Amino acid sequence: MIIVLKALSNEKRLKILQWLKEPKKNFASSHCDVAKDGVCVGLIEEKIGLSQSTVSQYLMLLQQAGLITTERRGQWTYCKRNEKAIKELVKNLENI
Amino acid sequence: MIIVLKALSNEKRLKILQWLKEPKKNFASSHCDVAKDGVCVGLIEEKIGLSQSTVSQYLMLLQQAGLITTERRGQWTYCKRNEKAIKELVKNLENI
DNA sequence: TTGACATATCGGAAAATCTCGATATAATAA
DNA sequence: TTATTATATCGAGATTTTCCGATATGTCAA
């Protein structure tokens, strides 16, 4: 619970999570379908204006918190929201 | 939003908020009715095992985040959960 | 008024977080 | 195989958070 709240309590990470809610609206990829495949790290990096290493670490944090899933495919790592876990979190927060 | 999540993303502060949900179960006061009046700082301090100054500061953070209300009455400061704000938060988190 | 109690504020040490550049790894293309 | 591209990891400086003790303020009781 704390680890999830910690992951969320950062503006940039929260923004990433929110962007991933509407991949098509927020990202454009030439090599994949962001809605189906997920959004690769480079696109997020480009949009958020943080260094590549920072984005990579932030995504790791979000993943450890269970808020996103990542999947390596070829040279890319695709990120998606973990809607199930997010719903679970909100449900838990209801009796905080 | 971020300020609220930051306030919540600390184990001790989250604990305080949760304790305040059931004042009668968690606190016993000789000079007031914790359910009606609220819980004074000293009781929280005693239970959580942090210094008086730290507890005072944490309560200030929770208050600034809108999660609790505090009211000075006599020499005591009584704390209560701000259920309305908490509900609002959870509602907002639903479309995070 | 003075002393005792409850809480708030201040200043700072230690730990954690933020963020970067450099470098490593992994996959692909030439 | 080598170069290129995408991502991960490492090490470190800057900033923020955690938490304390000392001190200040406010209230009450004698």
pLDDT tens, residue by residue, A13-28 = 999 999 999 999 999 9
CB B94 within 8 A of CB A18: no
Mean of pLDDT values over A45-49: 97
> Does residue B54 belong to any structural domain of this protein?
yes
pLDDT tens, residue by residue, B52-61 = 999 999 999 9
pLDDT at residue A93, as a whole number = 92
A68 contacts in chain B (CB < 8 Å): none
> Does residue A92 belong to any structural domain of this protein?
no
pLDDT at residue B20, as a whole number = 98
> Does residue B45 belong to any structural domain of this protein?
yes
> Does residue B33 belong to any structural domain of this protein?
yes
Strand C close to B64 by CB, under 7 A: no
Nearest to B11 among A2, A8, A18 (CB): A2
Average pLDDT, chain A: 97
Question: Is residue A85 very low, low, confident or very high in pLDDT (cuts 50, 70, 90)?
Answer: very high
pLDDT under 50: residue ranges of chain B: none
Q: How many domains does chain A have?
A: 1
What is the token pair recorded at B77? 């400061």
Domain that holds residue A37: 2-87
> Does residue A7 belong to any structural domain of this protein?
yes
Mean of pLDDT values over A53-67: 98
Q: Which helix (H) or strand (E) holds B90?
A: helix B83-94
pLDDT tens, residue by residue, B78-92 = 999 999 999 999 999
CB pairs under 8 A between A and B: 42
> Does residue A80 belong to any structural domain of this protein?
yes
Mean of pLDDT values over A37-66: 98
Question: Is residue A37 very low, low, confident or very high in pLDDT (cuts 50, 70, 90)?
Answer: very high
CATH of the domain at A79: 1.10.10.10
> Does residue B96 belong to any structural domain of this protein?
no
CA distances to A1, A13, B11, B89 from A58, rounded to whole Å, are: 17, 7, 21, 24
A93 contacts in chain B (CB < 8 Å): 89-90, 93
What is the token pair recorded at B75? 């020499």
pLDDT at residue B13, as a whole number = 98
pLDDT at residue B77, as a whole number = 98
